[in-house]
């Protein structure tokens, strides 16, 4: 079974160095603050802006007000990179982020607000500064840690263009662990267990498919669930994840295929496909309503329903261009894409700054400093996300209900979410023209029953087995609920 709380979750993804620089007890060793990049300057590949966990703590109320109740952090452990995927110490929160003290305080403050905290676990590879790799660099074949890695030849050319050891994407900065080595394996699994002492609620696993060892992930699950049976284990698998979602490894995965379907449908002809193609999203396709439905239906049938309802549904992240840029700044389409995300099975996930309409292209441009000048926020987008999060919270059917196809033609899509005796109908107009709704209900509601759009308050009616009489404005969405007859 997947953790029950995830079905109620709305995730907010934070890139710590770029979210906010807050005030807290200084960690040791303290950075030289004058060496940080200017917050509003374009980010660089190597530069640090100085965001930290104290800054997140200061903005927990802001995050909660937007409707988010779960935090997913990019890596926070000691590292020589601003993104911290180059881990040097898995048992130490980076001092620049406030150290272990800041994490403990963050989890405490988040839990007081009924918010969960998920950390990013990078277990496939480490950074060159990791103690074991440094030991091998210094001692070569004499190092007792040499079998923690896949060494092809000594001496290690760790600063050459191509590594003579296994490394992630052959990047010498990222030596790959040999997880078949018992000592290395035990070390990594102890990391997975350790941070539950701080009260974390789960792990997001970086490139877990590159640890091509199902038994490693089975043991990982056993260790994690022994620490917290309700811990969430979500893998970064970009496509079919059937292998890892059989109940003995991950609870769910980052559901990029669902995000691609939404972007293809809502973005249609305005999608910046060239921008997307240079990222993990690949070349997005413009989709009509039926093509979008078919992709969604296939995803919902691919896995057990308990997994579908716990997927981390995501459109954009630190690994992709921002949605505002992918949709070429067309705010109404961005709002519709997010509204649709909140109506589908699974846990909606929003990348920091996307809720205010931040722009961003390729890495590092998609990792800009969070904008805290409220005059630059797109308020209508914030309101859309707040409204959809509140609606999802108020309706169990949107969190646990099955997906039922009703109608798809051109840029018009309608589907139902059903849970027991409860149901709602979602109508989506992804066109620039108004749509007079006439959607077959396939016996969902009795004839003659009245309905209301829970977002706008507009009335509709069911006549002859159809939901009709509602005008849906361009690039908008309605969530219809039947009104009980007196």
Active site residue ranges: 206, 236
Q: How far is CA 263 from CA 260, 287, 328, 423, in A?
A: 5, 9, 12, 26
User: Positive or negative, the Cα torsion across 15, 20, 25, 26?
Assistant: positive
Q: Return d(Cα 397, Cα 394) in angstroms, integer.
A: 9
Is the omega angle on the peptide bond into residue 462 within 30 degrees of 0, that is, cis?
Answer: no
303 class by beta-carbon count within 10 Å (0-12 exposed, 13-18 middle, 19+ buried): buried
Report the 3 state secondary structure along the chain. Answer: CCCHHHHHCCEEEECHHHHCCCCCCCCCCCCCHHHCCCCCCCCCCCCCCCCCHHHHHHCHHHHHHCCCCEEEECCCEEECCCCCCCEEEEEEECHHHCHHHHHHHHHHHHHHCCCEEEEEECCCECCCCCHHHHHHHHHHHHCCCHHHECECCCCCCCCCCCCCECEHHHCCCCEEECCCCHHHHHHHHHHHHHHHHHCCCEEEECCHHHCCCHHHHHHHHHHHHHHCCCCEEEECCCCCCHHHCCCCCCCEEEEHHHHHHHHHHHHHHHCCHHHHHCCCCCCCCCCCHHHHHHHHHHHHHHCCHHHHCCCEEECCCCCCCCHHHHCCCCHHHHHHHHHHHCCCCCEEEEECCHHHCCCCCCCCHHHCCCCCCHHHCCHHHHHHHHHHHHHHHHCHHHHHCEEEEEEEECCEEEEEEEECCEEEEEEEECCCCCEEEEEECCCCCCCCCEEEECCCCCEEEEECCEEEEEEECCCEEEEEEEECCC
Q: Return d(Cα 91, Cα 106) in angstroms, integer.
A: 17
Helices 379-394 & 331-341 angle (0-180, nearest 10): 10
Q: Return d(Cα 92, Cα 103) in angstroms, integer.
A: 10
């Amino acid at each position: 079974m997947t953790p029950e709380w995830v079905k109620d979750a709305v995730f907010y993804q934070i890139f710590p160095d770029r979210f906010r620089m807050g005030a807290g007890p200084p960690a040791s060793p303290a950075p030289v603050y004058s060496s940080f990049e200017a917050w509003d300057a374009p980010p660089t590949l190597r530069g640090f802006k100085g965001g930290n966990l104290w800054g997140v703590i200061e903005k927990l109320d802001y995050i909660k007000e937007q409707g988010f109740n779960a935090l997913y952090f990019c890596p926070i452990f000691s590292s020589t990179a601003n993104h911290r995927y180059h881990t040097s110490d898995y048992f130490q929160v980076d001092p620049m982020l406030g150290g272990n003290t800041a994490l403990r305080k963050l989890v405490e403050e988040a839990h007081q607000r009924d918010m969960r905290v998920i950390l990013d676990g990078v277990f496939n590879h480490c950074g060159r500064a990791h103690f074991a790799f440094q030991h091998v660099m210094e001692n070569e074949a004499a190092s007792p840690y040499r079998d923690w890695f896949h060494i092809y030849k000594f001496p290690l050319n760790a600063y050459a263009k191509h590594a003579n050891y296994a490394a992630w994407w052959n990047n010498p900065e990222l030596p790959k662990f040999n997880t078949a080595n018992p000592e290395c394996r035990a070390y990594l699994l102890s990391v997975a267990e350790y941070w539950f002492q701080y009260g974390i609620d789960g792990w997001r696993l970086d490139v877990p498919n590159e640890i091509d060892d199902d038994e490693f992930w089975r043991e990982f699950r056993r260790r994690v669930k022994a620490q917290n049976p309700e811990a969430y284990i979500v893998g970064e698998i970009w496509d079919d994840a059937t292998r890892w979602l059989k109940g003995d490894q991950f609870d769910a995965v980052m559901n990029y295929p669902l995000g691609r379907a939404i972007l293809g449908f809502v973005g249609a002809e305005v999608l910046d496909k060239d921008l997307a193609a240079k990222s993990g999203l690949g070349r997005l396709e413009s989709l009509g309503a039926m093509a979008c439905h078919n992709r969604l239906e296939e995803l919902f049938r691919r896995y057990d329903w308990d997994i579908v309802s716990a997927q981390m549904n995501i459109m954009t992240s630190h690994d992709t261009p921002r949605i505002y840029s992918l949709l070429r700044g067309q705010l109404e389409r961005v709002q519709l894409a997010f509204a649709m995300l909140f109506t589908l099975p699974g846990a909606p996930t929003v990348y920091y700054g996307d809720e205010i309409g931040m722009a961003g292209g390729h890495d590092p441009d998609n990792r800009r400093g969070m904008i805290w000048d409220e005059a630059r926020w797109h308020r209508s987008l914030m309101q859309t996300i707040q409204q959809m999060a509140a609606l999802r919270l108020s309706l169990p059917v949107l969190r646990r209900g099955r997906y039922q196809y009703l109608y798809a033609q051109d840029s018009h899509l309608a589907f139902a979410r059903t849970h027991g005796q409860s149901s709602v109908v979602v109508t989506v107009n992804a066109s620039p023209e108004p749509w007079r709704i006439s959607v077959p209900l396939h016996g969902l509601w009795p004839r003659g029953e009245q309905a209301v759009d829970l977002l706008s308050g507009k009335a509709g009616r069911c006549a002859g087995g159809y939901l009709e009489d509602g005008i849906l404005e361009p690039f908008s969405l309605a969530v219809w609920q039947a009104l009980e007859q007196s």
